[in-house]
């Protein structure tokens, strides 16, 4: 486990606890908050660890019910060191893409701004379809990076998107986001575009950071969406039971 990322360490510790009989097959794992306390990590880290175990077939996430142990041999679970989780990637994107937006606001020419506006329109059209991929969203962010005219910035931002697209844990969480109906937020991207058009570097930087912070919350909300929906159904059922005739 040496050199493993934090969520991978938690996944392996949790798998070892399952193998040791702390959580027998068929039982429900403790609440996310309890696991975070046990392993002294954040709840997003626990969520990434559970997704990794789900992908490995060690646990099953049942909407509205919880996370259930599937495999008593989970102690053999080993995560790959190269699989970076989405929250770690987003933390880096907030740092680098925020600064890239600020620099781009000072560097972009009118043609490059017009291209960014065209990409935003492409994103609007893509959102209106059933497309699961977010091609225009990636194009929007990488166009801003390339318009810094700084090859080092471009390299870092492109690498972060490659990590986002290649990580199986990140892909699974993004799949849950799309299944929950969440799509790229147009107004947040428009705010970035408008700040760049005004050549306001501070506003562009802050708009990009605010947008990516909301993406973090979007991921957290979407991975709880099924449980929240089940809770809403239970509340509505209770209301109907106790409604006056």
165 or 97, which is more confident? 97
pLDDT value for 1: 47
CB 145 within 8 A of CB 196: no
> Where residue 236 falls among pLDDT bands split at 50, 70, 90?
low
Backbone angles phi, psi at 61, to 5 degrees: -95, 110
pLDDT in tens, 125-176: 998 887 667 899 999 999 999 999 999 999 999 999 999 988 888 877 777 7
Q: Above 80 in pLDDT, residue 232?
A: no
pLDDT in tens, 18-65: 888 888 888 999 988 899 999 999 888 888 888 888 888 888 887 667
pLDDT in tens, 212-222: 999 988 887 76
Q: Above 70 in pLDDT, residue 235?
A: no
The whole-model pTM stands at: 0.74
Q: Above 50 in pLDDT, residue 227?
A: no
Residue written as token pair 């291209």: 115
pLDDT value for 177: 75
Render the burial of 113-147: b for 16+ CB within 10 Å, e for the rest: bebbeebbeebeebeeeeeeebebbbbbbbbbbbb
């Amino acid at each position: 486990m040496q050199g493993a990322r934090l969520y991978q360490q938690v996944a392996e510790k949790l798998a070892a606890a399952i193998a040791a009989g702390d959580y027998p097959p068929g039982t429900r794992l403790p609440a996310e908050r309890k696991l975070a306390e046990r392993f002294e990590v954040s709840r997003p880290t626990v969520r990434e660890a559970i997704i990794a175990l789900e992908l490995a077939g060690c646990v099953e996430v049942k909407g509205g019910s919880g996370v259930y142990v599937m495999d008593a041999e989970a102690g053999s679970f080993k995560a790959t060191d190269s699989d970076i989780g989405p929250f770690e990637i987003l933390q880096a994107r907030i740092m680098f893409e925020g600064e890239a937006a600020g620099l781009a606001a000072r560097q972009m020419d009118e043609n490059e701004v017009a291209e960014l506006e065209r990409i935003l329109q492409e994103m609007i059209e893509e959102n209106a379809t059933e497309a699961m991929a977010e091609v225009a969203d990636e194009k929007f962010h990488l166009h801003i990076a390339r318009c810094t005219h700084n090859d080092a910035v471009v390299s870092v931002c492109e690498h972060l998107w490659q990590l986002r697209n290649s990580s199986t844990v990140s892909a699974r969480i993004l799949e849950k986001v799309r299944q929950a109906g969440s799509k790229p937020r147009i107004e947040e991207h428009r705010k970035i575009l408008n700040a760049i058009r005004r050549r306001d570097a501070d506003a562009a930087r802050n708009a990009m950071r605010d947008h990516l912070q909301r993406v973090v919350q979007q991921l957290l909300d979407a991975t709880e969406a099924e449980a929240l929906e089940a809770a809403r159904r239970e509340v509505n059922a209770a209301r109907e039971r106790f409604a006056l005739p």
